[in-house]
């Protein structure tokens, strides 16, 4: 999922330039610390009831309720912060904790069973109940799988060749059991984390094509390819159309059928959102609060004022209001809110980078040279950016695996050079690398003087003069690219900064075929969060040839092979071979990562900030 701590996560897949922000987060950073974000427990006995108010980041509000999310609406606020409170996925990842693993107690099915050498998967539902009394069963999962067959292009998590394309067949073998037969053997870990975790059972009350339709009357749950999935297409058209009516979210009988711990009581487009407990929730724990209210804000200053006046129970502290960090402490030495709130770090399981356009008609061949990419990385002063832009709370992105929270996936190479990875900041090294490959400074800009050394497709006289497009109006983004521009110029790399409207950048960031219309040079939109589609941090969505989110059109047969091996082998060694190669090859240029500092009222206990953006207020309670 594309993300940034400084803006709401927008597109998770096909719109490769969209940015992301984990739920309740705005950027600040830290160099090290625990991989969690659990608030200090509130003192005193539990006091059931009450309404917890939670600040949304400036300018953000949920706006899509149907969990079969299209690309344009795929963001953390619509998924983890909204839909999953009401509609639980087949396998819930993370939870009210530090973990980035499957949380089976919060999932609607038991752990999958793999047989046949990884070619057959058996899924047994737990028998939870929907709020209308229907059982969350095999038919509900088949309903979702059939919908994927019919409308795969309209689901943000779809990657060509993966689910449902990799299923030879599937079907229910009993009321609670679904068996998947795969076309080839898979890694159990990869398939569970990056395929099954994308699925969300849907109630038969949604299998309709008109208001008031009888549950199952749409026929999608029993549809097949024989009619070219016509029934599912009709159901999808009805549900997706209904999802566009935000004014009806809280009153629609369709969206009132939930299996999660919460249901909507109020929804105002662009305004407040209120959840109340679902009394028929089958999981645990059940909510103790009377309600949870999401509160929007126009800007950071207004949100922070809500904290200082104690009008908000949970919110973020804008970086400008934090004491400058030393780089060795997770939290600021001084709490700007005093004892009224406990502070907690809020990491996200993601990587930050800018994109290069390998299909750019002029610079595609330039970006295709590894030594050029190395030089572009070596003029990126990540630690300097953290200090200057992120107020001292930050750490470098050194490769394809998130540095925080700590995980078994991180390869050794990412810890080199004090955590900067294989290409630490060095103007001298970048300059020497370019000059040794036939480039010389002409009027201060590196210019190809020896095409045979510069590389295939690079003409004599080509200048290392690029543009970076980035979202306008975001102070932190402006600071980061301005620092990069300054350092790059010292090595003779000329970068022009082009602020653009966010929607404009999203439009131009879709992967494009080589040619004159594929003209952007570099794009900075924040990076990627591994919180769906895909929780194991493989590069299947980002760096594989032809992947929908491979916006820069990077292509490497070796990369494709290594990515494919992570799908068939559960070996950590195999995974780290992929990660190490990606770190060395630089399909993107890594940029520093940021996390938020959150504030939780001292009267509220049980609040945790998961790196996947999970929002689980059913664990919260006020104290006396």
Q: Where are the beta strands (DSSP E) in 312-425?
A: 314-316, 341-346, 350-356
Computed from CA positions of residues 504, 507, 509, 512, in that sequence, does the dihedral angle turn out positive or negative? negative
**Segments of the chain with pLDDT less than 50:** 1-40
Please give the pLDDT value at position 43. Answer: 58
**Do residues 530 and 350 touch, judged by C-beta distance below 8 A?**
yes
Please give the pLDDT value at position 14. Answer: 28
**Do residues 541 and 547 touch, judged by C-beta distance below 8 A?**
yes
**Do residues 514 and 361 touch, judged by C-beta distance below 8 A?**
yes
Our measurement of the distance from residue 208's CA atom to the centroid of its chain's CA atoms, rounded to an integer in Å, reads 31
Quick: pLDDT tens for 129-186. Answer: 999 999 999 999 999 999 999 999 999 888 888 999 999 999 999 999 999 999 999 9
Full set of structural domains in the chain with CATH: 109-241 (3.90.76.10), 350-591 (3.10.105.10)
Please give the pLDDT value at position 494. Answer: 98
Other residues' Cβ atoms within 10 Å of the Cβ of residue 43: 10
Burial (CB count <10 Å: 0-12, 13-18, 19+), residue 406: middle
Quick: pLDDT tens for 530-574. Answer: 887 788 998 888 899 988 778 899 999 999 999 999 999 989 999
Please give the pLDDT value at position 272. Answer: 87
Averaged pLDDT score across all residues of the chain:
89
Share above pLDDT 70 across residues of the chain, in percent, rounded to a whole number: 92
Spatial distance between the Cα atoms of 385 and 389, rounded to a whole number of angstroms: 5
């Amino acid at each position: 999922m594309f993300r940034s701590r400084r803006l709401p996560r927008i597109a998770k897949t096909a719109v490769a330039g969209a940015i992301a922000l984990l739920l309740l987060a705005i950027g600040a950073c830290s160099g090290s610390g625990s991989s969690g974000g659990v608030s200090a427990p509130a003192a005193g006995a539990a006091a059931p009831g009450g309404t917890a108010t939670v600040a949304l980041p400036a300018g953000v509000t949920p706006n899509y309720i149907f969990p079969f999310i299209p690309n344009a609406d795929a963001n953390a606020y619509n998924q983890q912060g909204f839909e999953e409170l009401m509609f639980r996925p087949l396998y819930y990842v993370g939870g009210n904790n530090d973990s980035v693993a499957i949380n089976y107690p919060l999932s609607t099915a038991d752990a999958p069973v793999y047989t046949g050498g990884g070619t057959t998967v058996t899924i047994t539902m737990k028998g939870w109940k929907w709020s209308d009394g229907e059982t969350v069963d095999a038919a509900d999962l088949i309903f979702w799988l059939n919908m994927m067959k019919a409308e795969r292009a309209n689901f943000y998590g779809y990657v060509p060749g993966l689910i449902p394309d990799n299923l030879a067949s599937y079907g229910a073998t009993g009321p609670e059991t679904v068996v998947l037969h795969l076309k080839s053997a898979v890694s159990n870990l990869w398939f569970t984390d990056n395929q099954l975790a994308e699925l969300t059972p849907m109630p038969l009350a949604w299998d309709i094509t008109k208001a008031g339709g009888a549950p199952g009357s749409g026929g999608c749950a029993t549809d097949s390819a024989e009619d070219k999935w016509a029934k599912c297409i009709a159901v999808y058209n009805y549900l997706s159309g209904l999802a566009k009516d935000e004014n009806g979210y809280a009153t629609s009988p369709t969206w009132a059928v939930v299996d999660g711990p919460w249901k909507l009581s109020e929804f105002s487009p662009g305004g407040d959102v209120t959840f109340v407990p679902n009394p028929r929730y089958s999981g645990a724990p059940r909510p103790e609060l009377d309600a949870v209210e999401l509160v929007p804000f126009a800007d950071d200053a207004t949100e922070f004022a809500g904290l200082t006046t104690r009008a908000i129970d949970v919110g973020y502290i804008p970086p400008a209001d934090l004491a400058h960090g030393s780089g060795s402490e997770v939290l600021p030495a001084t709490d700007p809110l005093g004892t009224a709130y406990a502070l907690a770090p809020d990491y996200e399981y993601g990587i930050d980078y800018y994109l290069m356009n390998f299909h750019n008609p002029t610079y595609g061949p330039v970006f295709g040279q590894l030594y050029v990419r190395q030089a572009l990385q070596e003029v990126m002063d990540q630690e300097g950016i953290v200090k200057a832009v992120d107020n001292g709370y930050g750490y470098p992105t050194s490769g394809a695996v998130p540095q925080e929270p700590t995980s078994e996936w991180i390869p050794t190479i990412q810890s080199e050079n004090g955590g900067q990875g294989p290409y630490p900041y060095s103007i001298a090294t970048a300059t020497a690398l370019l000059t040794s490959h036939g480039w010389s400074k002409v009027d201060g800009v590196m210019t190809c003087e020896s095409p045979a050394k510069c590389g295939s497709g690079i003409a004599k006289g080509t200048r290392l003069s690029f543009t970076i497009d980035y979202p306008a109006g975001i102070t932190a983004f402006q600071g980061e690219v301005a620092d990069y521009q300054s350092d790059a110029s010292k090595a003779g790399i000329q970068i022009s900064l082009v602020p653009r409207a966010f929607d404009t950048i999203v439009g131009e960031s879709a992967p494009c075929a080589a040619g004159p219309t594929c003209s952007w040079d570099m794009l900075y939109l924040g990076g990627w969060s591994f919180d769906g589609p895909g929780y194991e941090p493989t590069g299947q969505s980002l760096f594989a040839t032809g992947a929908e989110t491979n916006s820069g059109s990077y292509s490497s047969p070796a990369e494709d092979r290594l990515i494919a091996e992570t799908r068939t082998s559960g070996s950590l060694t195999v995974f780290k071979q992929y990660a190490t190669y990606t770190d060395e090859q630089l399909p993107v240029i890594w940029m520093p990562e940021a996390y938020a500092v959150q504030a939780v009222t001292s009267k509220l206990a049980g609040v945790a900030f998961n790196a996947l953006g999970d929002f689980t207020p059913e664990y919260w309670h006020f104290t006396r």
